[in-house]
Amino acid sequence: MELLIIIAMGLILLFMLGYTLWPLVSGVLFLALMFAIVCELFFVISGVLWLLARRRTARYLGLSDDDGPASFAYYEIDGEEYRNIFPTDVFMRRFLYRKEETRVRLWKRKKNSYVFDRVTTIIIVLGLVSFAVIIILLLTFVR
């Protein structure tokens, strides 16, 4: 609520100084475009890591709440425990994660190893498509 009051006061001050509305809207759209580009780069990097990961058969172990505010899904692959690359949401957990064996992708390096499960794959695809559309729409308005 305080943030909205600060933004409103800032807009009033800018209007009093003689600024019009379009440069302010253009500036906000430019910041939104920069944010969308950063998000798209994140999903591109995640997609490249997904492509480099190897397909494996894994067994779902459960969710861990020891990782701070986020909880991650853990899988067992060849007797070792690996964490999912993205945190999970509490929404529809019992439908998203199943106890039987499943096919996942494992990206394994010396220190870092991550699992890409089917939920992560869907998130990457949706992120790539949606932020590409958002960038195209914002580019039509920002000049």
- The string of DSSP letters for 54-121 reads EEEEEEEEEEESTTTTSBEEEEEETTEEEEESSPBPSTTHHHH--SSEEEEEEEE-SS-EEEE-HHHH
Confidence (pLDDT) at 67: 62
Q: pLDDT value at position 17?
A: 85
- Domain map of the chain by residue range? 52-119
Rounded percentage of the chain residues whose pLDDT exceeds 70: 90
Residue 22 CA to residue 28 CA, distance in Å, equals 10
Tell me the pLDDT band of 33, cut-offs 50, 70 and 90.
very high
Q: Which two three-digit tokens encode residue 141?
A: 């308005």
Q: What is the DSSP letter of 18?
A: T
39 — pLDDT class (breaks 50, 70, 90): very high
pTM higher than the cut 0.85: no
CA distance 82 to 52: 17
Please state whether beta strands 72-77 and 113-116 pair in parallel, antiparallel, or not at all (unpaired): unpaired
Band (87; pLDDT cuts 50, 70, 90): confident
Kindly tell me if the per-residue pLDDT of 36 is higher than 90: yes
